């Protein structure tokens, strides 16, 4: 049996009750349009939590004015069924008005690491993410919260937020789930035309090639980035937004590849912006 809750007060009452019974709470915040990546997060949560709560909320504050808030896929009946099938106990599904009532005006911002990568082309995006997740954490009060590595910068930013604000929650990062051809699962893949979808595997292919370079001893960040750029450009349908390498999880500039590093890419296929990444490991095969 799955419970659907739409009001903050009801969600809080449920949590208070669960906490009184000494239950641990695992939480998966989502924007819905659930795919296998989300379901993997839920399964992970299930393994180590007495109660699993997923939220479905397309958060307006993390979309830019010219981004896809209105177009973002909303697939409620399927989402509910998927949550139920995977054993989620509660789906929290608030309205925009419930989360941002009249007069609302408090932001949580993480400085520094939000300026690079996706933060560069999506100003205020991470402010929206950190703010809504801070709110959801306060409502759901989870012991652990689960996020996909696909949004690696998001995981780093949220981990920093939780640490910096002393939130009593553990952030768990779960590996990327991919289609058979390597494309990272994403709700936005549904925007792709058949031709765009066919060219999308270039991103992961380029990332794997980079890991191979590293395994062969390449240590120059500049050379690796150049190789990835070249590789993505070989696909005419792809327009690069960024290819960047940063230390992980600090997201600092790196001169040479002497520790684990995040290689992250963003590219447009037609009007659709896709992101992908791998953690480069010096001396390991990709």
Footprint of its own copies on this chain (CB under 8 A)? Answer: 8, 12, 19-20, 22, 103-113, 130-131, 134-135, 138-139, 141, 160-161, 164-168, 250
DSSP H or E stretch at residue 229: helix 221-233
Q: Which residue has the tokens 């963003």?
A: 266
CB of 90 closer than 8 Å to CB of 26: no
d(CA 175, CA 173): 7
Please, which residue, 164 or 253, has the CB nearer to its own copies? 164
Shortest distance, position 8 Cβ to its own copies, whole Å:
6
- Round to whole Å and give the CA distance between 265 and 269: 13
Residue closer to its own copies (CB basis): 49 or 131: 131
Residue 218, annotated ligand binder?
no
Does the annotation mark 125 as catalytic?
no
Query: Is 34 marked within a binding site?
Result: yes
Comparing CB distances to its own copies, the nearer of 39 and 157 is 157
Whole-Å CA distances, 232 to 132, 222, 229, 237, 267: 33, 16, 5, 9, 9
Is 233 annotated to bind a ligand? Reply is no
Alpha-carbon distances, residue 236 vs 82, 102, 188, 268, 269 (angstroms):
36, 46, 20, 11, 9
Q: Is 149 annotated as a binding residue?
A: yes
| 278 bridge partner residues | 263
Closest to its own copies by CB, 113 or 214: 113
Cβ of residue 106: shortest distance to its own copies, in angstroms? 3
CB 221 within 8 A of CB 245: yes
Is position 36 annotated in a ligand binding site?
yes
User: How distant, in Å, are the alpha carbons of 174, 206, 219, 262 from that of 272?
Assistant: 24, 19, 32, 23
Tell me how far, at minimum, the Cβ of 155 lies from its own copies, in Å.
15
Distance in Å, CB of 121 to its own copies, minimum = 21
Q: Of residues 25, 38, 139, 161, which has the active-site annotation?
A: 38
Pick out the residues of the known binding site for ATP: 31-38, 148-151, 177, 185-188
User: What residues form the annotated binding site?
Assistant: 31-38, 62, 148-151, 154, 177, 185-188
What residues act catalytically?
38
């Amino acid at each position: 049996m799955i419970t659907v809750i739409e009001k903050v007060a009801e969600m809080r009452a449920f949590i208070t009750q669960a906490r009184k019974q000494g239950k641990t709470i695992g939480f998966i915040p989502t924007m819905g349009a659930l795919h296998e990546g989300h379901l993997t997060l839920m399964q992970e949560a299930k393994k180590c939590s007495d109660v699993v709560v997923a939220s479905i909320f397309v958060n307006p504050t993390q979309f830019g004015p010219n981004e896809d808030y209105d177009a973002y896929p909303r697939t409620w009946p399927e989402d509910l069924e998927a949550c139920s099938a995977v054993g989620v106990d509660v789906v929290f599904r608030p309205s925009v008005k419930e989360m941002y009532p009249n007069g609302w005006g408090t932001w949580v911002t993480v400085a520094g690491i939000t300026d690079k990568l996706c933060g560069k082309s999506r100003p205020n995006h991470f402010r929206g993410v950190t703010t809504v997740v801070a709110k959801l954490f306060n409502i759901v009060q989870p012991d652990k919260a689960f996020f996909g590595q696909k949004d690696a910068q998001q995981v780093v930013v949220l981990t920093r937020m939780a640490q910096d604000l002393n939130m009593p929650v553990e952030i768990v990062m779960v590996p990327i789930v991919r289609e058979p051809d390597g494309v990272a699962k994403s709700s936005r893949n549904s925007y792709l035309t058949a031709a765009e979808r066919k060219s999308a595997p270039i991103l992961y292919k380029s990332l794997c090639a980079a890991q191979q370079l590293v395994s062969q001893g390449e240590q120059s960040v500049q050379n690796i980035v150049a190789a990835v750029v070249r590789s993505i450009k070989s696909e005419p349908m792809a327009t690069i937004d960024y290819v960047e390498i940063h230390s992980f999880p600090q997201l600092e500039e790196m001169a040479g590849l002497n520790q684990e590093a995040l290689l992250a890419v963003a590219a447009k296929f037609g009007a659709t912006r896709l992101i992908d990444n791998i953690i480069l490991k010096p001396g390991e095969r990709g």
